[in-house]
């Protein structure tokens, strides 16, 4: 079966917003797609990996003419791709060379609350800190982004976002494209508005429902093309935009196969011609360019705007076949019972009125508790009106969950892998099974980043009598 559907509720799509900014390719020459290079470990042994991640300012040639003032991790814009090998002990030195405080949030990584880089872990300008953890979760495409409350959105807009790849032996054994930069390509989907002298101006473009720009920017490249030199290419898609939904499809309605979601492989591959990806979600897809010949160009669109052009070169035939069973997730999951606690989350409002469970976020308030290791049900709903409301991408820190149902029905066909972000339609209840593997204080929120900064966010304390989590300090928003 090939799905030709975006699944989400069309009346809630972002293009119905009053403040919607339509994508438009600027009249500039095509640029070779930037492929973020892998960050080199400072040192690696059989058991340990050491990295240094520096948040820095810089200038980047994005448009012809003046360079744009940008921020990035170990580079002037976005960042290098950080590779974490499952099973290894990871040591990362975090350095802040920005003019203001920041945090380093590991979106999707299962680590203790004090390492996760939520808003209670600021690193002040000129300071650094080393974090240590054991990476023990399935191979996935995660990301690192800034998370100081309430300036997460502005810092991400400046460029503080980069891919994090968790590798493991199981995924490495599958017959899928795996040469990073050749046939395994991250695609970080963002949009920006270029003002005078090619500068970004977050304040000028501010919208409490999420800042948008008309110019698609993919891996920091405007009007990109990619040279296809293998029959099959794996793309690791990340919606790294503050607000934008991407409704993706290729020219010729070329089919593609999704093999992984946010936090793991999917149990089985799923074929699509169209896919909607919302803020912070990831999808790994394999595209088979076998029917094209050298000189052809295949285009990836969002709605009707071309966002990446694929220039086809000659390649060797690839007869590899994906197995039907990609991963067995169930074997590692704790079960729920009829006494399993149910947490209720209601995302309400739009603009400045956004709230979670009728409240604005408060850094000093713990909103819920969950027992470490225990599988619990989360019933997450969106109380917006079906018409005029919006889709809210719901995200939880420090954990990967299973989507059980949408309004009592099956989740979408590509939601059967582990996820950390799930989008909820207006009027919908999404049920999740959530089990934390790490203790801590974690945030959960809408990932339209301006909604998160605007207060559609709450926090949870996760621990157990055996692993109490008592040594934490709740920062105050005012002290930031």
Smallest separation (angstroms) from ligand C2O to the CB of 120: 12
Measured CA to CA, the distance from residue 299 to residue 311 in angstroms comes to 9
Smallest separation (angstroms) from Cu ion to the CB of 395: 5
Nearest to 397 by CA among 433, 432, 441, 337: 441
Question: Which does residue 275 touch among Cu ion, ligand C2O, none (CB within 5 to 8 A, set by kind)?
Answer: none
Between 107 and 192, CB nearer to ligand C2O: 107
Give the full edge-to-edge strand order of the sheet including 105-107: 82-85, 161-167, 140-145, 105-107
Q: Are 162 and 71 in contact (CB under 8 A)?
A: no
Smallest separation (angstroms) from ligand C2O to the CB of 223: 27
Measured CA to CA, the distance from residue 124 to residue 100 in angstroms comes to 7
Q: Does 244 bind Cu ion (CB under 5 A)?
A: no
| Burial (Cβ within 10 Å: 0-12, 13-18, ≥19) of residue 222 | buried
Between 53 and 280, CB nearer to ligand C2O: 280
Site string (352-391) toward ligand C2O, x via CB under 6 A: ----------------------------------------
Q: Which residues 134-173 are close enough to bind ligand C2O by CB under 6 A? A: 145, 147
DSSP-based three-state secondary structure for 233: strand
Between 33 and 211, CB nearer to ligand C2O: 211
Kindly give, in sequence order, each residue whose CB lies less than 8 Å from that of residue 281, ignoring residues fewer than 6 positions away.
238, 239, 261, 262, 393, 419, 421, 423
63, 218, 446, 457: which one binds Cu ion (CB under 5 A): 446
80, 86, 88, 105: which one binds ligand C2O (CB under 6 A): 105
Q: Are 94 and 111 in contact (CB under 8 A)?
A: no
166, 280, 327, 354: which one binds ligand C2O (CB under 6 A): 280
192, 236, 392, 431: which one binds Cu ion (CB under 5 A): 392
Between 133 and 289, CB nearer to ligand C2O: 133
Smallest separation (angstroms) from Cu ion to the CB of 394: 8
Smallest separation (angstroms) from Cu ion to the CB of 168: 21
Measured CA to CA, the distance from residue 137 to residue 332 in angstroms comes to 11
């Amino acid at each position: 079966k090939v799905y030709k559907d975006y699944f989400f509720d069309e009346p809630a799509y972002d293009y119905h917003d009053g403040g919607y900014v339509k994508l438009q390719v600027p009249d500039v020459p095509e640029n070779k797609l930037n492929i973020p290079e892998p960050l080199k470990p400072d040192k690696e042994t059989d058991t340990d990996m050491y990295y240094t991640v520096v948040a820095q300012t810089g200038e980047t040639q994005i448009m012809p003419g003046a360079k744009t003032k940008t921020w990035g991790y170990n580079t002037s814009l976005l960042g290098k791709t950080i590779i974490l090998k499952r099973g290894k002990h990871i040591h990362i030195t975090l350095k802040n060379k920005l003019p203001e405080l920041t945090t380093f949030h590991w979106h999707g990584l299962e680590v203790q609350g004090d390492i996760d880089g939520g808003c209670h872990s600021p690193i002040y300008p000129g300071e650094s800190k080393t974090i240590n953890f054991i990476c023990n979760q399935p191979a996935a495409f995660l990301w690192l982004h800034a998370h100081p409350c309430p300036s997460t959105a502005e810092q991400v807009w400046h460029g503080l976002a980069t891919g994090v790849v968790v590798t493991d032996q199981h995924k490495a054994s599958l017959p899928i494209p795996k040469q990073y930069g050749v046939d395994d390509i991250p695609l970080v989907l963002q949009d920006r508005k270029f003002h005078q002298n090619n500068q970004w101006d977050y304040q000028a473009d501010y919208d409490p429902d999420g800042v948008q720009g008309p110019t698609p920017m993919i891996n920091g490249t405007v009007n990109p093309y990619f040279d296809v030199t293998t029959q099959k290419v794996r793309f690791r898609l990340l919606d790294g935009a503050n607000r934008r939904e991407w409704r993706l499809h290729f020219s010729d309605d070329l089919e593609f196969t999704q093999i992984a979601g946010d936090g793991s492989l999917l149990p089985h591959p799923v074929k699509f011609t169209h896919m909607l990806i919302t803020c912070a979600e990831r999808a790994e897809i394999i595209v088979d360019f076998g029917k094209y010949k050298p000189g052809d160009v295949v285009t990836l669109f969002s709605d009707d705007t071309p966002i990446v052009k694929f220039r086809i070169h000659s390649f060797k035939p690839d007869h590899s076949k994906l197995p039907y069973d990609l991963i067995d997730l169930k074997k590692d999951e704790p079960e729920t019972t009829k006494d399993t606690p149910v947490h209720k989350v209601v995302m309400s409002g739009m603009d400045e009125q956004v709230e979670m469970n009728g409240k604005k976020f408060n850094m000093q308030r713990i909103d819920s508790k969950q027992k470490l290791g225990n599988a619990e049900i989360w019933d997450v709903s969106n109380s917006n009106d079906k018409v005029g409301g919006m889709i809210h991408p719901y995200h939880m820190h420090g954990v990967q969950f299973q989507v059980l149902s949408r309004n009592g029905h099956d989740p979408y066909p590509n939601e059967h892998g582990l996820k950390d972000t799930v989008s909820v339609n207006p009027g919908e209840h999404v049920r999740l099974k959530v089990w934390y593997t790490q203790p801590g204080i974690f945030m959960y929120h809408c990932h339209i980043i301006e909604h998160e900064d605007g207060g559609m966010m709450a926090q949870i304390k996760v621990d157990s009598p055996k692993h109490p989590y008592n040594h934490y300090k709740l920062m105050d928003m005012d002290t930031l």
